[in-house]
Amino acid sequence: EPQLIKLDQPGPLTLAMYQFLTEMQETKKGVVTPKELFAQVCKRAIRFKGYQQQDSQELLRYLLDGMRAEE
């Protein structure tokens, strides 16, 4: 008999990352913008909100730490 496992809903940052990756895979138009994902990162790390040049490693760290915190 199969076991059923119920998972909690993903947090907003995790959901935005999922939607962005899904859109990248499925789109045929060639250009994908991560607006919702970026908005979710900015909610957690206000320093990225002003569209100034930032360190990509720092952005990735905030993204991954935020997703881990939502687990």
Give percent of the chain with pLDDT exceeding 90.
Answer: 35
**What is the structure's pLDDT at 50?**
76
| Alpha-carbon distances, residue 43 vs 3, 6, 17, 24, 58 (angstroms) | 37, 28, 14, 23, 15
Give the count of domains, the chain.
1
pTM: 0.76
The pLDDT confidence band at residue 6, using thresholds 50, 70 and 90, is confident
Is there a domain that residue 43 lies in? Answer: yes
Question: Domain of 61?
Answer: 12-19+34-69
Cα separation, 66 vs 33, in Å, equals 20
Q: Is residue 25 one of the residues assigned to a domain?
A: no
Note whether residue 51 is domain-resident: yes
- As a whole number, mean pLDDT of residues 27-56 equals 83
Position 6 in a domain: no
Q: Letter for the amino acid at 36?
A: E
Kindly state whether residue 1 falls inside one of the protein's structural domains.
no
| Model confidence at 43: pLDDT above 80 | yes
Residues 47-63: tens digit of each pLDDT: 888 777 778 888 899 89
